[in-house]
A and B are shown apart, each in its own frame.
Chain A
Amino acid sequence: QSVLTQPPSASGTPGQRVTISCSGSSSNIGSNPVNWYQQLPGTAPKLLIYNNDQRPSGVPDRFSGSKSGTSASLAISGLQSEDEADYYCAAWDDSLSGCVFGPGTKVTVL
């Protein structure tokens, strides 16, 4: 069972906005930066968001992150077919002295 909680799936039509939640605790999200990863089928994960809301160079601004307390969210606006992928949140956990990943959310573009 994951320390971080994510919905198993999310979906939307092209152009819609989709939001994925990531819930944790005071020892992880509550006290450390959250990052988000996109994993397209058959490929290695790619960093999408770091430090809660920062986008690495090359990541479209359709992707945005936020954090409040012990929860974080990833929003995809203007959903596109190429956004169909698995999305994972992650954060350092001070109690475990290790990184924890959420179980992942599969985004489907209808």
Chain B
Amino acid sequence: QVQLVESGGGLVKPGGSLRLSCAASGFSFSDYYMSWIRQAPGEGLEWLSCISSSGSTIFYADSVKGRFTVSRDNAKNSLYLQMNSLRAEDTAVYYCARDSPPSPWGGADYWGQGTLVTVSS
């Protein structure tokens, strides 16, 4: 069965960095676009980024462009989100999700359980 497991969340100071990982299993990871989506406490869903199956095409939301970098390692069935220059408003649960066709966004058909990132001094 499809499984997505995020890790790497935690408490970080404003201006700091954090790298999230998402381990995928149960499907052919290298065939799918993947996305990162976050949800601030008590708020709605915010799409952050998606990356093509090969990693050659990447899209970012304006809110994180230039600060966050998404990457993937198809040999390790893993997705990553490098987050720099973190701000208090980046505090959220971060989800990785599998994108279903038609790419780049046919809908996120599988989601991880999420990892909490807290940005606070």
Interface centre among A86, A90, A92 (most CB of B within 10 A): A92
Contact with A along B39-55 (1 / 0, CB 8 A): 00000111100100000
In the complex, the answer to whether A2 meets B107 with C-beta atoms within 8 Å is: no
In the complex, the answer to whether A44 meets B105 with C-beta atoms within 8 Å is: no
Determine whether B62 belongs to the interface, using a CB cutoff of 8 Å to chain A: yes
Chain B, interface size category, equals: 20 to 34
Give the distance in Å from the alpha carbon of A100 to the alpha carbon of B45 in the complex.
9
Interface residues of A in 73-103 (CB under 8 A from B): 86, 88, 90-92, 96-103
Q: A96's contact among B62, B100, B108, by CB below 8 Å, is which?
A: B62
| CB proximity of A36 to chain B, nearest CB, Å | 9
Determine whether B106 belongs to the interface, using a CB cutoff of 8 Å to chain A: yes
In the complex, the answer to whether A44 meets B95 with C-beta atoms within 8 Å is: yes
Interface residues of B in 101-121 (CB under 8 A from A): 102, 104-114
Q: A103's contact among B44, B62, B108, by CB below 8 Å, is which?
A: B44
Q: Given A44-B114, A88-B45, A98-B47, does the pair A33, B108 have CB atoms closer than 8 Å?
A: no
Determine whether A104 belongs to the interface, using a CB cutoff of 8 Å to chain B: yes
Chain B residues with CB under 8 A of A104: 44-45
In the complex, the answer to whether B106 meets A45 with C-beta atoms within 8 Å is: no
Q: B46's contact among A39, A86, A101, by CB below 8 Å, is which?
A: A101
Q: How many residues of A contact B (CB 8 A)?
A: 27
Q: How many A-B residue pairs have CB under 8 A?
A: 66
Determine whether B27 belongs to the interface, using a CB cutoff of 8 Å to chain A: no
Q: Given A44-B112, A44-B113, A50-B100, does the pair A99, B106 have CB atoms closer than 8 Å?
A: no
Q: B102's contact among A33, A45, A97, A100, by CB below 8 Å, is which?
A: A33
| CB proximity of A28 to chain B, nearest CB, Å | 10
Q: B107's contact among A47, A97, A102, A103, by CB below 8 Å, is which?
A: A47
| CB proximity of B2 to chain A, nearest CB, Å | 12
Q: Given A33-B102, A44-B112, A96-B62, does the pair A101, B107 have CB atoms closer than 8 Å?
A: no
Determine whether B11 belongs to the interface, using a CB cutoff of 8 Å to chain A: no
Interface, chain B (partner A; CB < 8 A): 35, 44-47, 50, 59-62, 95, 100, 102, 104-114
- Seed contacts A86-B44, A96-B61; 13 additional CB < 8 Å A-B pairs: A2-B44, A35-B108, A44-B113, A45-B45, A45-B108, A47-B100, A50-B100, A51-B107, A98-B50, A98-B59, A99-B47, A100-B47, A101-B45
